[in-house]
């Protein structure tokens, strides 16, 4: 297990380095500025020691020499400040551009992930990876760039300067140093596992919060608040435990390394004092050595902190890289052609499909739809109606058989051109944050105001839009803001009426609209469907009486097929469904 974690860490670090490679100029400049900063910082104690040695006693001070050294010190401090500023600018640019690249790549991957992945993972957990985990990764990355290089160069430079002053005292420092590495190594191994568990728990918490906020009305309507609080408390307690363990191990890093640092300082002080008494070094050199002892040990504290933070960053990076490396949806074939404007002939031949391999859903499904036909799909919940729509739009690919549009297998054409020939209105509405005009014109961004208004009038959305504060320029929030469910659905219908593609899919398209408006919308739909191939999924059978063909599905199979009157006369499953809705006893 430990070996797997080490291998995982190394692999994640290699991936991070691939992103860093793109910004090697910033990295090189940062290292150069770090070296300059450290060199000048380490030179200052030597100058301080020289100043001390120029103070021989009361009334015996070489002020000319002191002021000359002070001018050099002032120049060194100014250059150090400038170098640190340049180094921080480089580190910030590098860190946040890497984070920008990671987020861009993650979002691009989400756009091409198969719907299966989105269906199997909660939205909150995916959001947590792209937002929270990347933020944690960026914090660790920035701290690493800012302190790691400076710390390493400081350690090497300090050793060099100390060796130039006195070899034996430097040996005392070097002999005690391995203790810091042992302490930091022990803690680093523990913290990675803790931060990894913390990151997972944070994703679960984000998923639950997103789910509860999205369904707050339902939660309150069913008095589910106590259960929701209990679930949140459970995940929150889990996150608290993971966080406490991670913070505990990371927080003992500093005191543990400080203890080692104090040993180094004490060793230098005692050894240096003995040498000073014997005349081996001057008081100024002893002062210089004590300063170096502090500067030498300080980076160990910083590097230990960086290592701890990097454990968190690597754990978060592993989660975001796992998303980025997910298998994308099957790409379009290299020889895929663009599907032009079609007549609307659709054929399904011996189609087999299931979401779970060992649970059959659609088996040997066959269907032939002529151009301009209205095809209604009805059946009990879970019979495969929406699945057929997913297959027609190629949100999922068939596992066997084929689906053709105008004789062309849809797997041989590009997805974008296939979907451009469909207009789709779903029961679940989706609106983006922006103006009402932007939402209607989503499928046709270059539409004129006249076209947008005409589409809104056809969908009977124009009247309520005009009552909005700024009409078509009214800005609505994500998923429609304060609009009613019916108003949201009218805007989605207007969106399709603006594009008017040759094929339509209406999946419970009027489920949230009042009866009077529905009758008017049905008339608009009737005009819109004229000459267009249409697939209508509906539970209210009154909306599909005029369909040319009604497919009655059960357990993934078409068990009855025909028009409304034919199916009623057969007295089968469709007749029982229809009568259950319209029998006198139900009124």
Q: Looking up tokens 């068939």, which residue turns up?
A: 398
Provide mean pLDDT across the span 462-469: 88
Q: Rounded to whole angstroms, how far apart are CA atoms 410 and 550?
A: 23
The yes-or-no verdict on residue 394 having pLDDT over 50 is yes
- How far from 544 is each of 377, 510, 535, 547, CA to CA, in Å? 9, 12, 10, 5
Asked if 343-421+533-587 and 423-500 have one fold, the answer is yes
3-state helix, strand, coil in the chain (%, to 5): 65, 10, 20
Cβ-based burial of 120 (10 A; exposed 0-12, middle 13-18, buried ≥19): exposed
**For residue 160, what are its two tokens?**
């060099």
Q: Looking up tokens 């208004």, which residue turns up?
A: 453
**For residue 198, what are its two tokens?**
């913390």
pLDDT in tens, 139-182: 777 777 667 777 777 777 777 777 777 777 777 777 776 666 67
**For residue 64, what are its two tokens?**
């000319």
pLDDT confidence tier of residue 577, bands split at 50, 70 and 90: confident
Q: Could you tell me which of 473, 450, 453, 451 has the C-alpha nearest to residue 462?
A: 453
- How far from 438 is each of 338, 387, 473, CA to CA, in Å? 27, 29, 8
Higher pLDDT, 378 or 508: 378
Topology (CATH) of 11-21+100-324: ABC transporter transmembrane region fold (1.20.1560)
In this structure, are residues 129 and 206 in contact, taking their beta carbons and an 8 Å threshold? no
Q: Looking up tokens 């009604």, which residue turns up?
A: 550
CATH 3.40.50.300, applies to 423-500:
yes
Provide mean pLDDT across the span 341-359: 84
Least-confidence region, from 1-5, 185-189, 426-430, 441-445: 1-5
Quick one: what percent of the chain has pLDDT higher than 90? 2
**For residue 228, what are its two tokens?**
């929701």
Q: Is 61 left (phi over 0), alpha (psi -120 to 50) or beta?
A: beta
Q: Rounded to whole angstroms, how far apart are CA atoms 132 and 138?
A: 10
**Number of alpha helices (DSSP H) and beta strands (DSSP E) in the chain:** 22, 14
Q: What is the pLDDT of residue 251?
A: 73
- Rg of the chain (C-alpha set): 35
CATH class of segment(s) 343-421+533-587: alpha beta
Cβ-based burial of 251 (10 A; exposed 0-12, middle 13-18, buried ≥19): middle
Q: What is the pLDDT of residue 256?
A: 72
Task: Give the helix ranges, DSSP H, for 357-448.
Answer: 385-392, 415-420, 436-440
Average pLDDT, the chain: 79
- How far from 75 is each of 19, 80, 116, 209, 324, CA to CA, in Å? 37, 9, 63, 55, 48
Domain segments of the chain: what residues? Answer: 11-21+100-324, 343-421+533-587, 423-500
Q: Rounded to whole angstroms, how far apart are CA atoms 354 and 327?
A: 19
């Amino acid at each position: 297990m430990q070996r797997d974690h080490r291998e995982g860490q190394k692999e994640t670090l290699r991936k991070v380095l691939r992103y860093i490679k793109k910004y090697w100029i910033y990295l090189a400049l940062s290292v150069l500025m770090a070296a300059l900063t450290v060199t000048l910082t380490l030179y200052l104690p030597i100058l301080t020691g020289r100043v001390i040695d120029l103070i021989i006693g009361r009334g015996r001070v070489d002020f000319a020499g002191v002021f000359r050294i002070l001018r050099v010190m002032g120049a060194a401090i100014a250059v150090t400040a400038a170098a640190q500023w340049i180094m921080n600018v480089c580190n910030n640019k590098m860190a946040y551009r890497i984070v920008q690249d990671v987020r861009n790549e993650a979002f691009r991957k989400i756009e091409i992930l198969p719907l299966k992945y989105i269906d199997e993972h909660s939205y909150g957990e995916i959001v947590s990876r792209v937002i929270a985990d990347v933020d944690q990764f960026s914090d660790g990355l920035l701290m690493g760039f800012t302190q790691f290089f400076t710390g390493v160069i400081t350690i090497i430079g300090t050793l060099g300067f100390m060796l130039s002053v006195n070899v034996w005292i430097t040996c005392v420092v070097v002999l005690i140093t391995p203790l810091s590495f042992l302490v930091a190594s022990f803690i680093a191994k523990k913290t990675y596992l803790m931060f990894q568990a913390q990151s997972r728990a944070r994703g679960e918490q984000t998923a639950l919060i997103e789910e509860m906020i999205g369904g707050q009305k339902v939660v309150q309507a069913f008095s589910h608040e106590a259960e929701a609080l209990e679930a949140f408390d459970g995940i929150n307690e889990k996150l608290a435990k993971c966080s406490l363990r991670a913070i505990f191990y990371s927080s003992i890093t500093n005191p543990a390394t400080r203890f080692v640092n104090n040993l180094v300082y004490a060793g230098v002080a005692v050894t240096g004092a003995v040498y000073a008494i014997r005349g081996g070094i001057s008081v100024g050199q002893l002062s210089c050595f004590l300063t170096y002892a502090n500067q030498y040990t300080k980076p160990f504290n910083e590097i230990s902190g960086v290592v701890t933070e990097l454990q968190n960053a690597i754990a978060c990076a592993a989660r975001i890289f796992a998303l980025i490396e997910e298998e994308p949806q099957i790409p379009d074939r290299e020889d895929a052609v663009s599907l032009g404007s079609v007549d609307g002939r659709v054929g399904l031949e011996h189609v087999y499909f299931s979401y779970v391999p060992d649970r059959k859903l659609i088996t040997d499904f066959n269907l032939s739809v002529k151009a301009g036909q209205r095809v209604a799909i009805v059946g009990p919940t879970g019979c495969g109606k929406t699945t057929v729509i997913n297959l027609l739009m190629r949100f999922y690919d068939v596992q066997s058989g084929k689906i053709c549009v105008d004789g062309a297998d849809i797997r041989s054409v590009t997805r974008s051109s296939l979907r451009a020939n469909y207009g789709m209105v779903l029961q679940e509405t989706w609106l983006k944050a922006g103006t009402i005009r932007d939402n209607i014109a989503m499928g046709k961004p270059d539409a004129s105001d006249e076209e947008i208004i005409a589409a809104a009038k056809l969908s009977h959305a124009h009247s309520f839009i005009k009552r909005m504060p700024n009409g078509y320029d009214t800005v609505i929030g994500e998923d429609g803001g304060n609009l009613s469910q019916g108003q949201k659905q009218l805007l989605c219908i207007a969106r399709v009426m603006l594009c008017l593609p040759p094929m339509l899919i209406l999946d419970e398209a009027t489920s949230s609209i009042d009866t009077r408006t529905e009758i008017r919308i049905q008339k608009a739909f009737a005009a819109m469907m004229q000459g267009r191939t249409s697939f209508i999924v509906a539970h209210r059978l009154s909306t599909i009486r005029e369909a040319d063909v009604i497919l009655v599905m059960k357990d993934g199979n078409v068990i009855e097929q025909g028009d409304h009157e034919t199916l009623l006369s057969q007295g089968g499953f469709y007749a029982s469904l229809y009568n259950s809705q319209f029998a006198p006893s139900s009124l």
